[in-house]
Amino acid sequence: MEAERLIAAGRHALAGSGTAQDIVAEAWQAQALAQAMGSHLALCGPLELRGEARGLSEIGEYPAWGSGGPRAAQLTEVGDPVVALTALGALLGDVGIALVGVACATDEEGLYWQCIEAIDAVDESNDRVGGMLRRLEVRDRERTRPPDPARGRAGPGPGPA
């Protein structure tokens, strides 16, 4: 399944979460999707992303999945990395906000620490996603820059006059 469809499914599932445990479970689903996208981009993505993508694929140790497994196992492609990473960043942001809400509202110490662990993983993943988007932005800027006439290749624009 395409990354954007899986992200949309994750956003829908998060919005439909009825309990604190559901929110924590959706947080780990989102984290698993971030890891899967990182793995996919490390193998098949633009060269500029491969190192950062490898790092994304290694973040977080989520709990046992049971028989259902993560939705991320259905990932088959990341069509447009910019669009997919932007959507993933939005999902991770929503998950982080939801986790903070659960952590602040609970009196159960175990649930609190589950939220903190998930918040750390989601935050680190979101940082990686942001870094990957910045790399793609730099790449796209360099590709659209006109050639430097003195060198016959793309270069910095004219200096101060």
Segment 123-132 mean pLDDT: 95
Pairwise pLDDT comparison (67 vs 32), residue with the higher score: 32
Segment 47-70 mean pLDDT: 80
Quick: pLDDT tens for 95-123. Answer: 999 999 999 999 999 999 999 999 999 99
| pLDDT recorded at residue 65 | 63
| Structure letter (DSSP) for residue 77 | B
| pLDDT recorded at residue 157 | 57
Give me the percent of the chain exceeding a pLDDT of 70: 86
Segment 82-100 mean pLDDT: 97
Global pTM reads 0.84
Rounded to an integer, what distance in angstroms lies between the CA atom of residue 74 and that of residue 7? Answer: 11
Segment 59-72 mean pLDDT: 74
Q: How many CB atoms lie within 10 A of CB 138?
A: 11
11, burial (CB in 10 Å: exposed 0-12, middle 13-18, buried 19+): middle
Rounded to an integer, what distance in angstroms lies between the CA atom of residue 145 and that of residue 155? Answer: 7
What is the pairing mode between strands 153-154 and 147-148? antiparallel
CB 20 within 8 A of CB 103: no
